[in-house]
Each structure stands twice: as C-alpha cells, then as structure tokens.
Amino acid sequence: MRSPLALLLAAGVLVAAMATGAGVAAQPLETAVKAAFLPKFAPYAAWPSASIPPAGTPYVVCVVGHDPFGQLLDEAAAGQRRDSSPITVQRLSRIDGRSGCHIAYLGGSPAQPVAAALTALAGSPTLTVTDARVGRDRGMVHFELKSGRVRFHIDDAAAARANLALSSKLLSLALSVKQRGRS
C-alpha cells in the first residue's frame, strides 16, 4: 500500500509543479489568443438588421467586469474589420440590452456576476462570450483550454434566441455545439 500512496503523492506534486509552471508561462499567451479571437468572431456572426451598424460606424466589443486583456484586445481589434466597419473595444462594469455591445466578454465582477450579466442580456442581440477560467456560467461562446490550446464551445440555441446567426465555419471549429431548435 505504501508505493501507490507514494506514487499518488509524487504525481500530485508533479501536477502541481506543472500547473504552476505552465500557468505562469501559458497565462499571457492564452490571454493573447483569447484577445485575438474576440474581434474575430464578428465576421462569423450575423446580427439582426436593426443592430447592424451603419457603414463607417464600428462594431463594438465590450469587456464586462474583470478585464484580463488590457492593451492586447485593443491591438487585436484595431487589426480587424467586419465588412467596412472597424471594431472598437468598450469596457463596462455592467451590461444590459441597451449597452450597444455586439460582442460581450463577460469577465464577471462583484457588481454584476457572469450569470447576472447573461440574464440581463437575455433576448438582446449580443454575442456573449464566457471563459472557463472565470466560471461555469456559459454564454453563446465559452472559452476552454484544451490540450494547451484555446478552444470554445458554442451554444447555437442561445444565439438563436438572441436572433443571432453563427457561421457554420465557426461552428465547425467548436469543441461542442448546442444545436438551435428546429422551429
């Protein structure tokens, strides 16, 4: 019985060491990837015509609550366009249907936890993005680190409820897709 225990212990130590080591090294890269992804979702989503910005006016990516990206997101957004529209970044402490966000990363905050933000946005045409690092609550896109790579789950049903259409190309990249109802 001693050796399995010792093995288990050793494994635990190893995992901890790996976790901390990987965590320290991976964290900035993972954040940078996510920052790059966020504005890229814009071309793969279609908003109801009322929400489409007039030509020249930007699509808005909002970071709600905790912001892990900082300058990285601004840089990524600057390099992206959707059609003729640029993409800009707004940082909010709270969000609701009238905030004018096309894409919203819900970083969570005591003022408005992720679940509350999701509730506040229910039915409004905002592509919600949540992060497994933040919590279990899932928006339409949910980041998760898989095999050291940033991947995402997609809840197409939720997107449908928000009158959003997501490109099948995007769906094909998802770790999992919650299909929209055939109605």
Partner 1 sequence: MKPLTRLAGRWQTIPRAASLIAGLLLLIGIAVIYQNEQGYRAQKADETRVQAGILAASVTAALDFGDAAAAQEAADALRVNPQLLAAGIYDGTGQLFAGYQRAREPLPRRMPAASAAGERSGNLLQAIVPVERGGERIGSVYLSAQVDPLSRRVARYGLVALLVVMASLVVVVLGIAHTALRGANRELSDSNAELQRQIVERANAEEALRQAQKMQALGQLTGGIAHDFNNLLTVIQGSADILKRPALPEDKRLRFADAIVQTAARAAALTGQLLAFARRQPLRPKVVDLNERVDAMMDMLERTLGARFVVRTDLGPGLCPVEVDPTQLEVAVLNVIVNARDAMPEGGGIIIRTREAVPEEIEGDGAGVALSVTDAGMGIDAETLGRVFEPFFTTKNVGKGTGLGLSQVYGFAKQSGGDVRIDSELGVGTTVTMLLPCTGKPLEKGPETTGPANAQRRGRILLVEDNEEVGAFAESMLAELGHAVVRARNADEALASIDSGLPFDVMFSDVVMPGISGIELARLVRERRPDLPIVLTTGYSEQIARTGAEDLPVVLKPYRLDALAKALDDAMAAAARG
Q: Where does this chain bind partner 1 (CB under 8 A)?
A: 33, 37, 40, 43-44, 81-83, 167, 169-170, 172-173
Our CB check for partner 1 shows the closer of 120 and 174 to be: 174
What is the crossing angle of helices 2-40 and 71-78, to 10°? 40
Residue 18: CB minimum distance to partner 1, A: 23
Exposure of 65 in the CB half-sphere (CA atoms within 13 A): 22
- Based on CB atoms, which residue is closest to partner 1, 151 or 180? 151
Residue 82 or 138: which CB sits closer to partner 1?
82
In the complex, the smallest distance separating the C-beta of residue 104 from partner 1, rounded to whole angstroms, is 19
Nearer to partner 1 among residue 169 and residue 182 (C-beta): 169
Smallest gap from Cβ 165 to partner 1, in A, equals 14
Q: Which long-range contacts (CB under 8 A, 24 or more apart) does 153-156 make?
A: 153/177, 153/178, 154/178, 156/180
Name which of 68, 16, 1 is nearest 38 in CA terms.
68
Of 8, 17, 39, 10, the closest CA to residue 105 belongs to 39
Q: Which two tokens stand for residue 13?
A: 């130590």
| Shortest Å, Cβ 59 to partner 1 | 11
